[in-house]
Structure 1
Amino acid sequence: MRTTFNRRLSVITVVLLLVGLVLLVRLASFQFNFDINTYWKNTNRYVQVGDEAPSRGLILDRNGEMLAGNTTEYRVGLSPVYITDKEGAAQKLAQVLNLDEAAIYKAVTSKDSYVQLTSALISAETARKVDELGIFGVRLDPEPKRIYPQGSLAAHVIGFVGWDGTERRGYVGVEGDYNDDLAGQKLITEESSIPFDANANTRPPPGRTIMLTIDRRLQYIAETELQKAISDYKAEKGTIIIMDPRTGEILAMASFPNFDPNTYTTADPKSLKNPAISDEYEPGSVFKIVTAALALQDGGIDPNTWTYLDKSVYMLGGAPIQNWDRAGHGTQTFAQILIRSWNVGTTTLSVEVLGLRKFYDGLKRFGVGQATGIDMEGEASGTLKEPGISLYWSESELGTNSFGQGLTVTPLQMLVYGNIIANKGQMMQPHIRLATIDGNRVIRAEPIPVRSPISPEVADTIRDIMIRVVNEGEGDKAQVRGYTIAGKTGTAQRQCNECGGYDPYYNNVSFLGLVPGDEPRVSILIQMEKVPDYASQTAAVVFSELAQRLVVVMNIPTDAERAVLKAQGGQTDQIEFR
């Protein structure tokens, strides 16, 4: 019996020895295979709550070309206590990072638990080289970086991403207006506090991708033509906008000076805002299309029979109003007011045909003094002083407002007014988003009708007169071979602070054009500031050169081709981009 007991005791002893041996082996494994990451991942100690930002959504043009994307850069840090070969680590890191070896040695011999090695971010390629060194205790923290592969192209439309003190967010343009969609939702996670532990098992879903109405090719054409025009005509700045008047889509929106969103911190802060939607200026004679349309809509006149006496001076509120040539021209027709751009003519319409209340009510129907509501951050509303409401309104402004002086608009607002005429009296909401892509879902932005300030008949009449402006009037330099063009010039005096009033030497010039003029598929606004010449000699020329390139890219048929299509019963309003 004692023998049996001793035998059992021996077995138990052997088992205990074996268990002890296993424990010693495991302990040795922890002692000599110093994989601190594995250790802490297999324990629940020192757990903290953190949040992880998702990858920001892309911004694409209407054809899927990337305008804004993401890359990853890295911040280098280390925990000195875990680095055994300190001299070797300092030497290797100095070579890869191109840093002073002595400074790195000071970091690796520090008594601190964690040292950030460099404040500057390193590229993914450099981070790979650091990782290949195999130095235990070195930490690479990924930092998302927004990139703009097209450089300055469409910079004012896109905007940029910056740091607001607590997080990265979009500023101005699409980055600003659609920041919540692009940024996505942060993921709250639990992660180890050990400096070089990375819990990458769960990633937050990326932000939504925004596809724009912009066509990169048209944007490039607009920007190159604008820069050439500013150089040729010695302008201070300028804007070109191209739209589809039927849908409100922005096909291109260019302004100069511009900036590169990749390096926005080095840009002039004034260049970061989008002049196309934020600059307010007096539009001048291009605004006469609004006054003329209101006269037909609310004034009860027949454009085919109505005439007026064009005097050399029209006195209103004690102020003289004159034509651009300082002359009177006798009996003139309704159409000649736009064709020859007579200030006395539009003053006659606003004062004698419409009257104060109808004129200002009509301007508000067109949206003068009201922001368009475009889906871009930073839009201004323009200014309109109203009688009985605005403190500084004077009677003479009933006349000067009729030809675009004494009120201000943004370039986008002015083009929206032209779109009403192009689109048979229907105002469409201007927009920059074509679609939102959320995973496998594509959410298209549908065209939104706003209101109809004028009837289709009035719109067609004004548009037909705008064709005559180009064919026989002040806009003749806007002609494009093979195409009917409708348009209106605008030369406005510019406010000059140093002059104490209007600038006697320089003008703000613009041209609003429709292609084709009789069946508008595209509307274009050319606007330049501080130009020493008239719009008919500058902005109209820029329009022509731009439109010649645009009709090729957009595959817009010539007048002759459209005539053949109509004869064959085909559609002429379906434009396919090449």
Structure 2
Amino acid sequence: MDAESIYAVPQDIEDAAGTATALGRALSLDAGARKELQALLEKTRAFVWVRRKVDPTVARVVRALQLDGVGFLTENRRYYPQRELAAHVIGYVGLDNTGMSGIEYTFENAIRGRAAKVLIRTDARRRALDHTEKPSTEGHTVVLTIDESIQHVVERELERSVQETGSIAGVAVVMDPRTGEILALANRPTFNPNKFGAYPSSRWRNRAVADAYEPGSMFKIITAAAGLEEKVVDPDEMIDCGHGFLEVAGIRINDHKVFDQLSFRDVMAKSSDVGVARVAQRLGRDNFNRYLRHFGFGAATGVELPGESGGLLRPLNRWSALSLPTLSFGQEIGVTALQMTAAVAAVANGGYLMKPTIIRQIEDSEGRIVREARPTAVRRVLDPATADRLTDILRGVVLKGTGHRAAIPGYAVAGKTGTAQKVDPGGKYSMVDHVASFVGFVPASRPALVVLVSLDTPKGPANEGGDVAAPLFARIAEPALRRLAVPPDDPDRVLRATGRPSESVHLAAYEPVPAAGPASPAESGFMPDLRGTSAREGATSAARLGLIVELKGSGRVVKQAPEPGAEIEAGMTCVLQLGGTP
């Protein structure tokens, strides 16, 4: 959008002090700033900026002063109509519309375009001989994977949790585990990119990719994955939890509760530190380190956002005697929220570590796609059978363990809580301050979403991961599932047509059902034609067939994938493009 900038021509100003005073009042400058402005106006220069890209009301006030030597130039200013929404993803620009953070920074050259130039050829006396014009070019459009509706829910619920728990900060990430696409990413505290300078710089930081922290017990997912893959533990095997402690190299590691014999399922459900440490000891240092690296820890994910941290994972030769057991329950390692989300997505999708992406495509000024993101599998980290066994264990965490408050009616949720102690100023683990987290995926049988939420230093008597982060997960995941029209797991919550009325229903009239005709496309395993239906009708029809529905745009269905008549099976993704009438 256009914005006016105020400039001055000092050599045309006779009363620099008076002009500085008048401008100071209009611009609300303090005494020091007025002195600096006066000094600027007293210089023998042909041009100086007074204030760039001012609000329209300020421009009107200054224009009304009719000051000699003071003028206005119209410049272009980036305006963010959604204000704080996805501020850390989109980023912001400086005075010259140069990207300073987020997507604005990463894709500065693509978004900015090229300014018009006039090249003038002169002679030795600098007289113009001829000139060549290079017209400006419009910038490209960067299309994000962010779903605006899901992003709005994430920011609203994260803000609510931070306020209710008195947390210092909060982070939430929502990812499609099949593609690595980031559907939402939010941080608190946040800022308005239209006036980023009004906020402390700490608010600009994208904590989800820039901050490495100890994940705590949700990291037990990685230990369990390695143990099951290497077949050093069985889900129903009884594990000796040492009556609440384990001694390693003369140092006692205490569990958060006293446990004796637990099945490995219950080790995860009850989040026993000693239990997972036993599994890590069976794996050994070399094996465990290999799995940590394969799951992507210790290296940046490569997402298209600036300032990404690779986390903190020491090389094997710097591990101490305590490293193996403490790493198993998420201490002595630093991970980013995005790294942890991507690692758990590998469990959800059957064993592939997907490269996270936040860009869907880049279009030129005429709408042509010049770059399109494709799902990228970095490597296979688990066998599908291992992922299934681990998913079953993580369902137990939500059904009967520390993550029960993450349950969503009608859907099977798999996940893990985390309550990670923070290091106090003395270098020891605090007994009070911690980071409360939950990471999980849903529906567990055909995951459409991986959601990680984390709250930094929540206050109150009930402030652990299962108390504050698990319910935040549920409040984000449930509306996101509705948004994507993902059908429930619970058969009692799925709408279906019945061949005859229920015996419990009294009928006013009844006519025999006519003989069945030829099978419809839906009944015969083929995709019906949903074009022309409303978004709700189309999504409901597809969901009844067991398809995972993704809506794009607004209006009625104008295009669909799979195409009408294509073979389908439950669990496939159905994309419905909405718009005007076809």
TM-score, normalised relative to structure 1? 0.75
Q: How far is 1:110 from its partner? A: 11
Q: Is the 8 A contact 2:53 2:77 kept in 1?
A: no
Q: Which residue of 2 aligns with 1:572?
A: 547
CA distance in 2 between counterparts of 1:451 and 1:99 reads: 57
Q: How far is 1:322 from its partner? A: 2.8
Q: Which residue of 1 aligns with 2:238?
A: 307
CA distance in 1 between counterparts of 2:132 and 2:5 reads: 16
Q: How far is 1:301 from its partner? A: 4.2
Moved more, 136-145 or 518-527: 136-145
Q: Is 1:424 the equivalent of 2:350?
A: yes
Q: Is the 8 A contact 2:116 2:133 kept in 1?
A: no
Q: How far is 1:424 from its partner? A: 0.5
Q: Which residue of 2 aligns with 1:411?
A: 337
Q: How far is 1:192 from its partner? A: 12
Q: Is 1:328 the equivalent of 2:259?
A: yes
Cα-to-partner distance string for 1:31-61 (whole Å, 9 max, x where unaligned): xxxxxxxxxxxxxxxxxxxxxxxxxxxxxxx
CA distance in 1 between counterparts of 2:142 and 2:357 reads: 12
CA distance in 2 between counterparts of 1:126 and 1:172 reads: 27
Q: Is 1:177 the equivalent of 2:106?
A: yes
Cα-to-partner distance string for 1:366-405 (whole Å, 9 max, x where unaligned): 11111111110010111112331x2xx3111100100101
Q: Which residue of 2 aligns with 1:496?
A: 424
Q: Is 1:385 the equivalent of 2:385?
A: no
CA distance in 1 between counterparts of 2:477 and 2:234 reads: 33
Q: Tell me which of 388, 404, 408 is aligned to 1:460.
A: 388
1:188 and 1:302, CA in 2 relative to 1: closer, same or farther beyond 3 A?
same
Q: Which residue of 2 aligns with 1:206?
A: 138
Q: How far is 1:300 from its partner? A: 4.7
SS in 2 for 1:507: strand
Q: Is the 8 A contact 2:487 2:548 kept in 1?
A: no
Q: Which residue of 2 aligns with 1:316?
A: 248
Q: Which residue of 1 aligns with 2:486?
A: 556
1:466 and 1:130, CA in 2 relative to 1: closer, same or farther beyond 3 A?
same
Q: Is the 8 A contact 1:211 1:433 kept in 2?
A: yes
Q: Is the 8 A contact 2:256 2:273 kept in 1?
A: yes
Q: How far is 1:523 from its partner? A: 0.8
Q: Is 1:435 the equivalent of 2:361?
A: yes
Cα-to-partner distance string for 1:448-498 (whole Å, 9 max, x where unaligned): 11111111111111112111111111111111112111111111111112x
Cα-to-partner distance string for 1:253-291 (whole Å, 9 max, x where unaligned): 111111111111121111111000011111011011111
Q: Is the 8 A contact 2:415 2:441 kept in 1?
A: yes
Q: Is the 8 A contact 1:318 1:396 kept in 2?
A: no
Q: Tell me which of 456, 472, 476 is aligned to 1:529.
A: 456
TM-score, normalised relative to structure 2? 0.74
The amino acid across from 2:416 in the alignment is K
Q: Tell me which of 195, 218, 233 is aligned to 1:286.
A: 218
CA distance in 2 between counterparts of 1:563 and 1:361 reads: 46
The amino acid across from 1:416 in the alignment is A
SS in 1 for 2:98: strand
1:563 and 1:362, CA in 2 relative to 1: closer, same or farther beyond 3 A?
farther
Q: Tell me which of 265, 272, 276 is aligned to 1:346.
A: 276
Cα-to-partner distance string for 1:489-513 (whole Å, 9 max, x where unaligned): 111111112x431111122110012
Runs of 5+ unmatched residues, structure 1: 1-69, 101-105, 194-198
Q: Which residue of 2 aligns with 1:396?
A: 322
1:134 and 1:287, CA in 2 relative to 1: closer, same or farther beyond 3 A?
closer
Q: Which residue of 2 aligns with 1:243?
A: 175
Q: Which residue of 1 aligns with 2:299?
A: 370
For the pair shown, which has the larger CA radius of gyration, 1 or 2?
Answer: 1
The amino acid across from 1:573 in the alignment is I
Q: How far is 1:135 from its partner? A: 12
CA distance in 1 between counterparts of 2:407 and 2:141 reads: 40
Moved more, 224-233 or 169-178: 169-178
CA distance in 1 between counterparts of 2:482 and 2:112 reads: 37
Q: Is 1:159 the equivalent of 2:91?
A: yes
Q: Is the 8 A contact 2:3 2:54 kept in 1?
A: no
Q: How far is 1:128 from its partner? A: 9.9
Q: Which residue of 2 aligns with 1:471?
A: 399
1:459 and 1:143, CA in 2 relative to 1: closer, same or farther beyond 3 A?
same
Q: Is the 8 A contact 1:484 1:516 kept in 2?
A: yes
SS in 2 for 1:259: coil
CA distance in 2 between counterparts of 1:480 and 1:410 reads: 26
Q: How far is 1:131 from its partner? A: 10
SS in 1 for 2:431: strand
CA distance in 2 between counterparts of 1:314 and 1:135 reads: 79
SS in 1 for 2:447: coil
Q: Which residue of 1 aligns with 2:517?
A: none
The amino acid across from 1:162 in the alignment is G
Q: Is the 8 A contact 2:26 2:62 kept in 1?
A: no
CA distance in 2 between counterparts of 1:505 and 1:134 reads: 61
Q: Which residue of 2 aligns with 1:65?
A: none
Q: Which residue of 2 aligns with 1:56?
A: none
SS in 2 for 1:576: strand
Runs of 5+ unmatched residues, structure 2: 29-37, 123-130, 498-521, 526-544, 555-582
1:293 and 1:140, CA in 2 relative to 1: closer, same or farther beyond 3 A?
same
Q: Is the 8 A contact 1:76 1:116 kept in 2?
A: yes
1:488 and 1:436, CA in 2 relative to 1: closer, same or farther beyond 3 A?
same
Q: Which residue of 2 aligns with 1:513?
A: 440
Q: Which residue of 2 aligns with 1:542?
A: 472
The amino acid across from 1:73 in the alignment is E
Q: Which residue of 2 aligns with 1:295?
A: 227
Moved more, 174-183 or 399-408: 174-183
Q: Is 1:265 the equivalent of 2:191?
A: no
1:288 and 1:191, CA in 2 relative to 1: closer, same or farther beyond 3 A?
same
Q: Which residue of 1 aligns with 2:35?
A: none
CA distance in 2 between counterparts of 1:230 and 1:205 reads: 44
SS in 1 for 2:172: strand
1:212 and 1:282, CA in 2 relative to 1: closer, same or farther beyond 3 A?
same
Cα-to-partner distance string for 1:196-221 (whole Å, 9 max, x where unaligned): xxx99864112211111112221111
Q: How far is 1:121 from its partner? A: 3.8
Q: How many residues were matched structurally? A: 480
More helix by share: 1
SS in 2 for 1:517: coil
Q: Which residue of 1 aligns with 2:579?
A: none
Structure with larger RCO (C-alpha < 8 A, sep 6+): 1
Q: Is the 8 A contact 2:326 2:332 kept in 1?
A: yes
1:459 and 1:538, CA in 2 relative to 1: closer, same or farther beyond 3 A?
same
SS in 1 for 2:229: helix
Q: Is the 8 A contact 1:242 1:253 kept in 2?
A: yes
CA distance in 2 between counterparts of 1:439 and 1:129 reads: 37
Moved more, 408-417 or 260-269: 260-269
Q: Which residue of 2 aligns with 1:146?
A: 78
Moved more, 180-189 or 535-544: 180-189
Q: How far is 1:98 from its partner? A: 6.3
Q: Which residue of 2 aligns with 1:216?
A: 148
CA distance in 2 between counterparts of 1:201 and 1:546 reads: 53
